Chain A
Amino acid sequence: GENVEQHPSTLSVQEGDSAVIKCTYSDSASNYFPWYKQELGKRPQLIIDIRSNVGEKKDQRIAVTLNKTAKHFSLHITETQPEDSAVYFCAAIGGGADGLTFGKGTHLIIQP
Chain B
Amino acid sequence: DSGVTQTPKHLITATGQRVTLRCSPRSGDLSVYWYQQSLDQGLQFLIQYYNGEERAKGNILERFSAQQFPDLHSELNLSSLELGDSALYFCASSVVGINTGELFFGEGSRLTVL
Chain A interface (Cβ < 8 Å from any Cβ of B): 1, 31-32, 34, 36, 42-46, 49, 89, 91, 93, 97-105
Contact = CB atoms under 8 A, between A and B. Distances in A.
Nearest to A101: B45
Contact of A104 (B33, B42, B107): B42
Nearest to B58: A99
The 4 closest A-B pairs by CB, nearest first: A104-B42, A102-B43, A43-B105, A99-B45
Given A32-B98, A89-B43, A93-B98, A99 B106 contact: no
B2 interface: yes
A57 B110 CA distance: 35
A37 B102 CA distance: 13
A89 to B, nearest CB: 6
B107 A43 contact: yes
Interface residues of B, number: 24
A99 B48 contact: yes
A92 to B, nearest CB: 10
B114 interface: no
Contacts of A99: 33, 45, 47-48, 56-58, 98
Interface in B93-114: 98-99, 101-103, 105-108
A103 B42 contact: yes
A17 B73 CA distance: 44
